[in-house]
């Protein structure tokens, strides 16, 4: 549980493991900086983690370029499709906010979009385009040109003032990217167990030890995040 090493590993494009909280999901996500994703990392997530591979977008970027929460897309179209309103995610047992799920994407140069190489291309290029030093309108135009939706990479939109209103893996892992000084988009995948449920915290720690991967808890992230914001005199 070496937090400094975890940040260094992120800067080097290595995966780390982030556990949220005992009273929330009680799950661990395999996490890597999106800008450093490779098909080998996607393959590792698919084989060793086994959950859903998702890529986070910080709130300000999503808002500036017009990347919506999927719940909002459904709600806005619910007059046409009333079932969408009935299926609103208002009863998530571990979360009192709407789902962080955004749209799904494939890069236009992918074939099916689901292969390890295809998903790596989609994620790495999304992170590259998203964080260009260009006006938001230019970035939005390029994303529209390069990506199609729906696709096989699930985007997750972090909440405004991350780790204030919501403390999910979307926010925890995005905060880790900020603190590591890389582009603040994380690609994450839940660690699944062999019993039909999530991998237990104990088993994740064992996996981390056996594979020389840093394991970080949500409580550690929260503590360091407050220090980071105070030091930088900014909210995110």
Our answer to whether residue 152 is catalytic in this structure is yes
Our answer to whether residue 64 is catalytic in this structure is no
CB 145 within 8 A of CB 203: no
Q: Is the four-CA dihedral 196, 201, 207, 208 of positive or negative sign?
A: positive
Our answer to whether residue 173 is catalytic in this structure is no
Phi-psi region of 181 (alpha: psi -120 to 50; beta: other; left: phi over 0): left
Our answer to whether residue 106 is catalytic in this structure is yes
* DSSP code per residue over 121-174: HHHHHHHHHHT-SS-HHHHHHHHHHHEEEEEEEEEEEPPSSTTTS--SHHHHHH
- Strand (E) or helix (H) holding 42: helix 39-44
Q: Distances in Å between the alpha carbon of 99 and those of 45, 137, 158, 168?
A: 22, 26, 10, 10
Annotated catalytic residue, options 2, 40, 76, 94: 94
Annotated catalytic residue, options 8, 146, 152, 160: 152
Annotated catalytic residue, options 54, 169, 173, 189: 54
Our answer to whether residue 190 is catalytic in this structure is yes
Annotated catalytic residue, options 106, 107, 118, 183: 106
Our answer to whether residue 226 is catalytic in this structure is no
Annotated catalytic residue, options 29, 116, 171, 214: 29
Distance CA 123, CA 35 (A): 8
Distance CA 216, CA 227 (A): 16
Q: Would you name the residues annotated as active-site residues?
A: 29, 54, 94, 106, 152, 190
């Amino acid at each position: 549980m070496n937090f400094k090493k975890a940040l260094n590993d992120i800067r080097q494009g290595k995966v780390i493991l982030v556990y949220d909280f005992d009273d929330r999901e009680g799950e661990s996500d395999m996490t890597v900086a999106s800008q450093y994703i490779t098909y080998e990392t996607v393959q590792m997530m698919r084989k060793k983690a086994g959950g859903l591979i998702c890529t986070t977008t910080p709130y300000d970027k999503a808002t500036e370029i017009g990347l919506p929460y999927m719940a909002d897309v459904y709600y806005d179209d619910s007059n046409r499709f009333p079932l969408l309103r009935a299926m609103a995610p208002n009863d998530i047992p571990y979360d009192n906010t709407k789902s962080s799920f955004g749209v799904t994407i494939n890069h236009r140069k992918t074939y099916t979009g689901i292969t390890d190489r295809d998903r790596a291309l989609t994620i790495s290029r999304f992170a590259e385009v998203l964080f260009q030093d260009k006006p938001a309108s230019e970035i939005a135009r390029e994303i529209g040109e390069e990506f199609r939706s729906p696709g096989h990479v699930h985007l997750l939109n972090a909440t405004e003032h991350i780790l204030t209103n919501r403390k999910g893996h979307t926010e925890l892992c995005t905060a880790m990217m900020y603190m590591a000084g890389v582009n603040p988009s994380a690609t994450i995948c839940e660690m699944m167990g062999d019993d039909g449920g999530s991998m237990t915290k104990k088993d994740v720690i064992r996996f981390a030890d056996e594979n020389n991967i840093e394991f970080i808890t949500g409580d550690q992230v929260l503590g360091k995040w407050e220090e980071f914001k105070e030091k930088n005199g900014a909210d995110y």
